[in-house]
Structures are given as C-alpha cells and as structure tokens.
Amino acid sequence: MDRPHFRFHPGAYEAVFEQEEGVCSCCGQNRSLKYEGPFYSQQSPDYLCPWCIASGQACETYDGELVGYTDIEGVSPDPADPEPAIARELLLEIALRTPGYRAWQQPVWLTHCNEPCVFLGHADRQTVEPFLAEVLPDIEGIYKKDAQWMLERMSKDGMISGCLFRCVRCGEHRLHMDVG
C-alpha cells in the first residue's frame, strides 16, 4: 500500500515518523510507521499511522489537532477578529490532516499569498543563506535589533532553530524562529 503524500509537509516521513511495528490506535491495522510529532488532544493514542493522519480520522477519533488551528499564521483565537484570508478547507488540512513538526515552543505554520506554506524542515544559517533576503524580514519582524545575532546562532537542532517554509504560489521562502 502506497504511503499518503502530505503536500504541505513533504518531508514528514523523515521528520516525524519512526519505523516501528505496531497497531494503529485509530484504525486497528498493523503498521510499520508511527507518528512521533505533535498531537493536541485530551486523549493520548499510543500509535497513529500516516493513513489515519492523512484521512483526518486520527483527529476526528481523538478530537485533536496535529497543528493548532490558531497556530497557523493569520488565524486569531479572538472571535471578534476578522476571518482569515485563507480558505477554511486549507486551514483544516493543516490542522487536521498534515503532520506537524517538532519544536521547542508551540509550532507556528507560516502562510503566504493567502495559502499555507510548505514546511521544508529545520534550517541553519547555511541553509537559508541562498534566500536570506527573503527570510530576513521574518526574523527582523520579531527580533529587530537581534536578527543578525539570531541568524549566527541558528541551527537545525539547537536551542535556536529555524523552521523553513516556502510559498506554494510564488515560491518565496519564509522562516519561523523556534527558540528553546
């Protein structure tokens, strides 16, 4: 059986799935890929397979989210705020059917051109160097005077980790800084 494809997280199998034989808590099938990424629910399933994640069955069964709905850029938890410019079905695809990514803080899913971006993975300074001009505004927008200091200390797996995204429409890169 072919593995599901996650269009907004194409590297999910390398990033948040582990080779482990087991029975999926959701579908009851014997599987060999266990999800090890974030899952926000009052319940804690032992084993979630990629098929249950891709179909949305995992989130429906356990009343959970893989990415917090309000952790998607442009979505406010305040009901008085305007509705997001991004189509609701795309927001739900990220929150309920796209594997999240590991982070020190609550992961943030970036957007661009009124769509969720593709998560490319964790990044260090060398990774973002080819498109530094594109991602620098993201860093300066939060860290202002410390942007260069943050960039110099950014690593793929350290206390300051870059989370690299790319716009599905225009290809522009975005960067979220995850600080532990």
The residue ranges of every structural domain in the chain are 1-68+89-102, 103-179
What is the Cα–Cα distance from 63 to 88, expressed in whole angstroms? 18
Q: What is the dihedral of CA 40, 46, 52, 54, to 10 degrees?
A: 50
What is the Cα–Cα distance from 41 to 10, expressed in whole angstroms? 24
Question: 23-81 pLDDT, tens per residue?
Answer: 999 999 999 999 999 999 999 999 999 999 999 999 999 999 999 999 999 999 898 99
pTM higher than 0.85: yes
What is the Cα–Cα distance from 2 to 128, expressed in whole angstroms? 32
